[in-house]
Structure 1
Amino acid sequence: MGKRIALSVAAALAVVGAIAPSAYADGGSGDTEILGITVNNGSSVVIGTTYAKTFNVEIDAYDDSGLMSADTDLDGPGYGYASDKTICETDYTCTHSFTFDPRVDLDNSQAGTWYVGSWVDAIDGDYRWDERIDSFRLKRASTLTTNASPEPVTKGKTLTVTGTLQRASWDDYKYHGYTSQSVTLQFRKKGSSSYTNVKTVKTSSTGGLKTTVTASADGYWRWTFAGTTTTSAKTSDSDFVDVR
């Protein structure tokens, strides 16, 4: 992989003699149940080129004696892997903190769907191991710009709206144009509180966007990108145009 996956301070892969839960199929003993997970408060984990991202993975589980600890694995594409062992803070939840640093832990192949598995130990010795409880998306951050010209513009004349869509590279720590992506142009008339979709345009080989519209009223123009399985959604700042 060429880079290591960072573990939180609480990570205890180094527990002497521990057997990795991933060596086992789903199973357990007693009445311990893993009910579900919440990763990053239900949102995708989005990482740029500079700063590390810390996010929580909450394991919801149950045993009539209470929970003792959980050993949780994250398994992603491109040989992405991270593990954390923690003492459960309540009888029903165990929260893990993971930190991924794009300059240490990631390359572009690791963007996409990651799966969460966990081994939960109960106070009475019961346990449960589920290899794939659920999944989440690890995404490369994106940037998006908008520029409308000329400003001001005469009513009924042509207005040209441009922009650039880029996304983070975890290989060289720069942002590059995102090619052949559908991006929607939106307009909000002055005095209105909502945007309407005007047209959808594909990005160029450099991530560029360009289209023309007829200037009809004062208002705000912006581009919005829905995102992909590997890249975050993004809406640009708006550009106000005075129509005279």
Structure 2
Amino acid sequence: MRKTSWALCAAAAGSAVAVLAVPTVTTDRSHGDTAVTSITVNDGKPVLLGPAKAAAFPLVVRARDGSGIRAVDPVGVWGPNYGVLKVGAMRCTAGPGTESVCRGTVTVDPVKKEIFNDEAGTWFVDLQVTANDGDRFVGKATGGFSLKRAAKLSGSGVPATATAGQRIAVQGWLARSFWTDNRFHGYKDGVAYLQFRAEGSHRWTTVARAVSAASGTVKASVKVTGPGDFQWYAPGDKWTGDAVSREMPVRTR
């Protein structure tokens, strides 16, 4: 059954899991001089979630108050289509100065149907920070991060040896996570670039662009200009992670 907002607005007292809510964690208001200076999820990198493996990634909240920070609780992590994720208890360490650093872990398991395909995209963090003197900061959508469907990309069709100037047909298969059945499936209308790196060089140059078919296949016809390596690269988008194929070497006669 899909998650609904009303069912996620409370947690048992003493639970190690923070309260989850969509989209707000509390009806309380901020008061006093407590402030959040930063919220970082997954070290600032997009979360690329595969189809069948649970993931855990860090949530770090930096907050300040002259009396010190007592707790960051409750915390809500929410996304598109009423998506919510579990957040472990936040643990705070004082310093430097009036700032405290509070750390917790966000978890998600696609096999347990804790996330669905249409919940990929931009996610947000709601939270309440309480200081030792009773001051409080309440933030709605105070932080944000990207949670994307992991992708993978294969490549084939590059001969081991070719003649300089010879035209070759290079294929690939672009796929992404389907959290519905916990498998990778072909990704339609994804953009992929065929790149070439000349022997002895460290620079990849795009030599062709392709849009994946309904099956996820990509194709390009290019000339071999000399020895080196080909690869497919897909930059992804708001909902899908990037991917790169294995390197496909070619030598020239």
TM above 0.5, yes or no, is: yes
Query: Could you tell me which of 111, 116, 123 is aligned with 1:107?
Result: 116
Q: Distance in 2 between matches of 1:216 and 1:99?
A: 48
- Greater shift in the superposed pair: 145-154 or 222-231: 145-154
Query: Could you tell me which of 118, 136, 147 is aligned with 1:127?
Result: 136
Q: Does 1:15 align with 2:19?
A: no
**TM-score, normalisation: structure 2:** 0.87
User: How far did residue 236 of structure 1 move?
Assistant: 1.4
CA offsets 1:197-235 (integer angstroms, 9 cap, x no match): 112111111110111111120010011111111111111
Aligned equivalent of 1:7? none
Q: Distance in 2 between matches of 1:83 and 1:129?
A: 19
The verdict on how the C-alpha distance between 1:192 and 1:87 changes in structure 2, with shifts beyond 3 A counting, is: closer
Q: Distance in 2 between matches of 1:216 and 1:89?
A: 58
The verdict on how the C-alpha distance between 1:33 and 1:83 changes in structure 2, with shifts beyond 3 A counting, is: farther
Alignment of 1:184-199 (within 5 A): 184-199=193-208
Residues 149, 159 of structure 1: 8 Å contact kept? yes
Alignment of 1:149-160 (within 5 A): 149-160=158-169
The verdict on how the C-alpha distance between 1:120 and 1:23 changes in structure 2, with shifts beyond 3 A counting, is: closer
Letter in 1 for 2:141: R
Q: Distance in 2 between matches of 1:206 and 1:99?
A: 31
Q: Does 1:148 align with 2:157?
A: yes
SS of 2:134's partner is coil
User: How far did residue 148 of structure 1 move?
Assistant: 3.2
CA offsets 1:18-68 (integer angstroms, 9 cap, x no match): 98762427x411110011200000011111122110001111110011111
Q: Does 1:90 align with 2:94?
A: yes
Letter in 2 for 1:102: P
Q: Distance in 2 between matches of 1:231 and 1:24?
A: 34
Residues 91, 104 of structure 2: 8 Å contact kept? no
Aligned equivalent of 1:61? 63
Gaps in structure 1 of 5+ consecutive residues: 5-11
Aligned equivalent of 2:2? 2
CA offsets 1:100-119 (integer angstroms, 9 cap, x no match): 01111111121111111110
Gaps in structure 2 of 5+ consecutive residues: 5-9
SS of 1:29's partner is coil
Residues 193, 232 of structure 2: 8 Å contact kept? yes
RMSD between superposed Cα atoms in Å = 2.1
Q: Distance in 1 between matches of 2:12 and 2:94?
A: 24
Alignment of 1:206-221 (within 5 A): 206-221=215-230
Aligned equivalent of 2:242? 233
Alignment of 1:18-37 (within 5 A): 22-24=25-27, 27-37=29-39
CA offsets 1:100-156 (integer angstroms, 9 cap, x no match): 011111111211111111100111111100111121111111000122333311222
User: How far did residue 83 of structure 1 move?
Assistant: 5.1
Q: Distance in 1 between matches of 2:139 and 2:158?
A: 56
Residues 150, 160 of structure 1: 8 Å contact kept? no
Aligned equivalent of 2:7? none
User: How far did residue 164 of structure 1 move?
Assistant: 0.5
Residues 13, 83 of structure 1: 8 Å contact kept? no
SS of 1:205's partner is coil
